[in-house]
Amino acid sequence: MPVTRLNHAVLYVRDLERTRDFYENALGFRTLIWMPGQGAFFQAPGSTNDHDLGVFQIGSGAAPSSAGRTTVGLYHLAWEVDTLAELDRLRTVLDQWGALVGASDHVTTKSLYAKDPDGIEFEVCWILPAEHVSDDLRAEAKEARPRPLDLAAEIERFGADTRGGVGVSMPVTS
């Protein structure tokens, strides 16, 4: 099964309006289909995908997910951004929304972790372009435990506007 990318994710949420507010106003998603009280389909900024996120309302009585604590289940989805400047901007936005729950340096991936209004965790990451990934860095990444992310130092090291993921998660273009 040669997967080329994640096409979309589907979430069950308590309150559709609250979810729409968060994904539109915090993350900039665009509502493509709105079914009041039932569900919605959203498209991420910069995406040409039919939809990137589907959500369906199941009501305020829904219990929080216990995945990873008492049941198996999905831990999080990761969305990739193009630049460290965008990752830095999102860190500020997610912090302002009270959604930011962590930030990690995984050597070749720089990540923010946040939770949506239902406590569903997601990751926003910038991936080191292939031209910066040496064999030593690959070996370090395999052995390293996540460490605190010093985003200012990473911007100083790689540049705020360096396109991430080139040659890793996206093809090199001329």
For the cut 70, the answer to whether the pLDDT of residue 167 exceeds it is no
Convert the pLDDT of each residue in 86-141 to its tens digit. Answer: 999 999 999 999 999 999 999 889 999 999 999 999 999 999 988 888 888 778 77
**53-57 vs 9-13, strand pairing mode:** parallel
Domain over 1-59 is classified CATH 2.60.40.10: no
The sign one gets for the Cα dihedral 120, 125, 130, 132 is negative
- What are the pLDDT digits (tens) for 16-50? 999 999 999 999 999 999 999 999 999 999 899 99
Enter the pTM of the model. 0.90
- Say what the pLDDT of residue 56 is: 97
CATH 3.10.180.10 range(s) for the chain read 1-59
| CATH 3.30.720.110 in the chain, residue ranges | 72-174
Any residues with CB less than 8 A from the CB of 36 and at least 6 apart, and which? 16
Helical ranges in the chain per DSSP H: 16-25, 84-96, 135-143, 151-158
Examine the pLDDT at 170 and tell me if it is beyond 80.
no
**Tokens of residue 152, six digits:** 């200012």
Contacts of 134 (CB under 8 A, 6+ apart): none
- Six token digits for residue 5: 């990318």
Neighbours of 39 (CB within 10 A): 19
> How would residue 172 be classed by pLDDT, with cut points 50, 70 and 90?
confident
Task: Pick 72-174's CATH classification: 3.30.720.110, 3.30.70.141, 3.60.15.10, 3.40.1710.10.
Answer: 3.30.720.110
Strand 147-148's sheet: what is its strand order? 77-80, 121-127, 109-115, 100-105, 147-148
CB 110 within 8 A of CB 154: yes
pLDDT at 137: 77
Residue with tokens 């998603």: 29
Ranges 17-21, 146-150, 164-168: which has the least confidence: 164-168
